[in-house]
Amino acid sequence: MKYFLTILAFITSLNLYAQELTGTVISDNEKIISSKFMGYIKEVNVSEGDFVKKGEILYIIDSSNIDSLKNEALSSYEIQRNNLENIKLNYERYKRLYKKDLVAKYDLELLELKLKNTEKMLKIAQAKVKEINTQYEYLKIKAPNDGLIIKKSIKEGELAMPSSPAFILTDLNSLKIKTSISESQLSKVKINDEVIVIIDSINYKTKGKIKSIIPNTVNMTHSFILKIEFDKKDKNIYPGMYSKVILGQNNE
């Protein structure tokens, strides 16, 4: 009887050590894509499930609002440019008259001051035109990195609002396994522990490492979230896939 209890205790300790957990594939690099400017959506180029490359145009916002601002800025620039030309002509004329003592020094200095102020105003108007021209690029919303579109929230013709989510882009090169472990088992794991990762749906088994141990504060479950880094190789692995994680060193 004593021998049987010893064997049972040994098997139980092995089962605790080589513990199997269930998890989900997640991406550690998900981005919400939105626009900086308000405007009607002119063109949508991608859909949910599409793979995109960094710099690829996802959608385009109509430029009508910026066109109006640009026309105003160009008009202001032309006014300041014409003003400057006229003031330069007057200034040169006043300099000639001043040399002949036909105008007061005060009048010449006043015109010189006006010339400098108008030059400043022209530079401001020129900078405004340049600033508006750069805004046209912001109407073309591009992918910040390679990835998979996992959510689309816009349609052509809708009004795009600044910071309102249009797409969710997930990076397939930043995949991890997310699982959880009870508080009572926490002492059995630590950062950089090796584990076995199994994704049954594609019949894939590989090694992984625990990279994060995070308290789970939802509903006071007395559990901890584990994030596990693994090698996906060239497998088609996507966020949301079911996985198994086997803890312990002797589980291969």
Q: What is the pLDDT of residue 7?
A: 37
| Ranges of CATH 2.40.50.100 domains, the chain | 30-61+140-170
What are the b/e assignments for 238-249, b being 16+ CB within 10 Å? bbebebbbbbbe
| Ranges of CATH 2.40.30.170 domains, the chain | 19-28+172-247
Q: What is the pLDDT of residue 140?
A: 94
For 64, other C-beta atoms within 10 Å of its C-beta total 10
Q: What is the pLDDT of residue 100?
A: 86
Q: Environment class of residue 195 by beta-carbon count within 10 Å: exposed (0-12), middle (13-18) or buried (19+)?
A: buried
| Ranges of CATH 1.10.287 domains, the chain | 64-138
Distance of CA 96 to the CA centre of its chain: 61
Q: What is the mean pLDDT of each run of 10 residues along the chain (252 residues)?
A: 44 57 94 93 96 96 92 95 94 90 89 94 95 92 95 95 93 94 89 95 95 83 91 90 84 45
**What CATH code would you report for 30-61+140-170?**
2.40.50.100
Q: Which amino acid is at 232?
A: K
Q: What is the pLDDT of residue 163?
A: 82
| Angstrom distance (rounded) from CA 186 to CA 202 | 30
Reported pTM: 0.70
The architecture of the domain spanning 19-28+172-247 is Beta Barrel (2.40)
- Alpha carbon dihedral 39, 34, 172, 51, in 10-degree steps, equals 0
3-state secondary structure of 148: strand
For 154-220, the DSSP string reads --TTSEE-TT---EEEE-TTSEEEEEEEEGGGGGG--TT-EEEEEEGGGTEEEEEEEEEEEEE-GGG
In the chain, DSSP finds a helix count (H) and a strand count (E) of: 3, 14
Q: What is the third-level CATH fold of 64-138?
A: Helix Hairpins (1.10.287)
Q: What is the pLDDT of residue 219?
A: 64
What DSSP character marks residue 233? T
